[in-house]
Structure 1
Amino acid sequence: MSDVQAVVGAEAQDVGGTLSNKDLLRALLRKPQFVLCSLLLLVFFTMAAVPRLFTSVDPRSCDLSKSRAGREPGHLFGFDIQGCDYFANVVYGARPSVLVSIVASFGVFVLAAVLGLLAGYFPGFVDSLISRTADVLFSVPGIVVLIVILNSVPNRSIWVIVGVILLIGWPHGMRLMRSTVFSVRNREFVLAARSIGVPPLRILRKHVFPNAMAPLLAMTTLGIGGMVGLEAVLTFLGVGLQPPTISWGSQFGVAASYRDTPHLFIWPALFISTMTISFMIIGDSIRDALDPKLLR
């Protein structure tokens, strides 16, 4: 009985070192930078969901005589090349950019985490199947695959672009998660849980994933800005979101042709940078809170 009690104690010690949801929330709310960045993201999400709360101007109501004009009363961001209110365009451009970047990043995180957990914890057939599939996707440049697939789709909606990004975007995160799981699966608390008959799914969920997710979380938060940039590249190449959809990415594409009009670039760049940095800080705060080494 002493051996059984020892392994039970090892498992209990590990579980006790993991923050509960309430403790995690309290730890995060004590960080001013987390609270500030969360409020900023809440503003972006509200802007994407209900743009009329921020402006009553129709973004497609234009006056060509004001093309590329600067700010004036009632038009804080000036006008775009069509003479449309640029503040309204930036506000309404939040929805596609936020959806593509957030949904794609979250989807890639979930897909990479699940496949990485399976590949790292079940060596052999499962690992070989997932890893070889990732190798096939690694062998072809991702941007080429995106262009080829999206170019064959007549109606490219936000969800089509997100789906294609998910199709080719998971191998990098999967490999990172797989390598982290390899370093966790043979640690004492996992061996203890396995020896007392804890089901593999519970081991993965309660012990392996919390101790292996931090690198993937950091990678995902850093990649959110890249998702916005990817949407801009695809739109610029003509295989991204189609008119009349307004997005921060399409505004970047237009601004690249009018370098003598800096406000066309500054405002979407400011919004994208703020959103990206906010996610990075939030991800860093969550990673620090979940890191077992920092809990002891």
Structure 2
Amino acid sequence: MTRTPWGGAALAAALLALAVIGPWIAPDPLLMEAGTLLPPSSAHLLGTDQHSRDVFARLAHGARVSLTVAGVAVIIALVIGSTVGVIAGAGGSVLSASLRRITDLALALPRIVVLMVLLAALGTLPPLTFAMIIGVTGWPAIARLVRGETLRLRQAEYVIAARALGAPPPRVLWREILPGALAPAIIAATLGVADAILLEAGLSFLGLGIMAPAPSWGGMILESRDYLHAAPWLLLVPVAALVAATSSATLLGEALRRFLQPDTQ
């Protein structure tokens, strides 16, 4: 059965609205209200936490942080991976061969281990720097896809025709091959949003990402671990947000795959 992309689009729209509009509704995620661990009510839609902070405010501001980190990381990975992949797939130069070997070496390293080592060495980082590190470690998978597509497109009729007409190799590579090789990269980048969100949450949970008191979904899960019985909503709220975010990215990625690569279905 074919899955509709509308579910993913609706989830993505809801999360973007939460990230954009939510902080206007609840502007201060650090404000301490009257009463700790208050259950959800009309005064506090998602209750309060152990520090009397409004959970909805922290969720909304955390959405802005988590989605920004994921978006920036994916864009960086897409730009670097596409550039490296198309050059590596072009062949015929020392640079292409070197980039192939670098990509293979980078793919052999466990990404989560590399991230943990880097973040442990660098210490607490602002969200944008954190996003850049996640993005820089995410390009090899995209580079591999683009390289494979570049190798295939080098034998395409329109590319052979461009060479026969005297188009210089750089023009053939960047004007003829790259646009066609981007389809799998865009699909992988969309699916990679889910990975980036989970990486941000997981690293924050381990104390290596966005640090308290700044709001993030991973940090909210970390802070809720001692209150599972007294205030289960502290865990359920950020977990539900993570599930919604990763599900929407996956559904949109699959929809893009069906649209851009219908022959693979």
TM-score past 0.5 threshold? yes
Match of 1:165 among 117, 134, 138: 134
**CA pair 58-258 structure 1, distance change in 2 beyond 3 A:** same
Contact kept, 8 Å, 2:70 with 2:197, in 1: the verdict is: yes
Match of 1:114 among 68, 80, 83: 83
1:204 aligns to 2:176 (yes or no): no
1:177 aligns to 2:142 (yes or no): no
Contact kept, 8 Å, 1:211 with 1:292, in 2: the verdict is: no
The one-letter code of the counterpart of 2:190 is T
1:112 CA drift (Å)? 0.8
Contact kept, 8 Å, 1:210 with 1:290, in 2: the verdict is: no
Match of 2:12 among 27, 30, 41: 41
d(CA) in 2 for partners of 1:138, 1:288: 26
Helix, strand or coil at the partner of 1:160: helix
Aligned residue for 1:147? 116
1:275 aligns to 2:245 (yes or no): yes
Aligned residue for 1:13? none
Contact kept, 8 Å, 1:134 with 1:171, in 2: the verdict is: yes
Describe the superposition over 1:151-182 as per-residue Cα deviations: whole angstroms up to 9, x where unpaired.
23244111221222233221122112212221
The one-letter code of the counterpart of 2:129 is V
Q: Unmatched 5+ residue regions in structure 2?
A: none
1:120 CA drift (Å)? 0.6
- Using the size of structure 2 for normalisation, the TM-score is 0.84
Helix, strand or coil at the partner of 1:283: helix
1:86 CA drift (Å)? 0.9
Helix, strand or coil at the partner of 1:83: coil
Describe the superposition over 1:252-272 as per-residue Cα deviations: whole angstroms up to 9, x where unpaired.
222344433432232223323
Aligned residue for 1:134? 103
Q: Which has the larger radius of gyration?
A: 1
Helix, strand or coil at the partner of 2:137: helix
Contact kept, 8 Å, 2:20 with 2:64, in 1: the verdict is: yes
Helix, strand or coil at the partner of 1:181: helix
The one-letter code of the counterpart of 1:265 is L
Aligned residue for 2:188? 219
1:188 aligns to 2:188 (yes or no): no
Helix, strand or coil at the partner of 1:58: coil
Match of 2:254 among 273, 284, 292: 284
Contact kept, 8 Å, 1:217 with 1:287, in 2: the verdict is: no
Helix, strand or coil at the partner of 1:244: coil
d(CA) in 2 for partners of 1:292, 1:123: 32
Structure 1 stretch 57-66 or stretch 69-78: which is displaced more? 57-66
Aligned residue-pair number:
261
Structure 1 stretch 83-92 or stretch 149-158: which is displaced more? 149-158
Match of 2:23 among 52, 58, 61: 52
Helix, strand or coil at the partner of 1:66: coil
d(CA) in 2 for partners of 1:277, 1:206: 34
CA RMSD of aligned residues (A): 2.8
Contact kept, 8 Å, 2:201 with 2:218, in 1: the verdict is: yes
1:46 CA drift (Å)? 4.6
Contact kept, 8 Å, 1:211 with 1:291, in 2: the verdict is: no
d(CA) in 2 for partners of 1:139, 1:35: 36
Match of 1:265 among 220, 229, 235: 235
d(CA) in 2 for partners of 1:173, 1:251: 31
**CA pair 263-278 structure 1, distance change in 2 beyond 3 A:** same
**CA pair 277-197 structure 1, distance change in 2 beyond 3 A:** farther
**CA pair 50-262 structure 1, distance change in 2 beyond 3 A:** same
The one-letter code of the counterpart of 1:106 is I
d(CA) in 1 for partners of 2:172, 2:252: 27
Match of 2:204 among 219, 224, 235: 235
1:83 aligns to 2:83 (yes or no): no
Helix, strand or coil at the partner of 2:40: coil
Contact kept, 8 Å, 1:252 with 1:265, in 2: the verdict is: yes
Contact kept, 8 Å, 2:85 with 2:145, in 1: the verdict is: yes
The one-letter code of the counterpart of 1:90 is L
d(CA) in 1 for partners of 2:130, 2:6: 31
Aligned residue for 1:252? 221
Q: Unmatched 5+ residue regions in structure 1?
A: 1-32
d(CA) in 1 for partners of 2:130, 2:95: 28
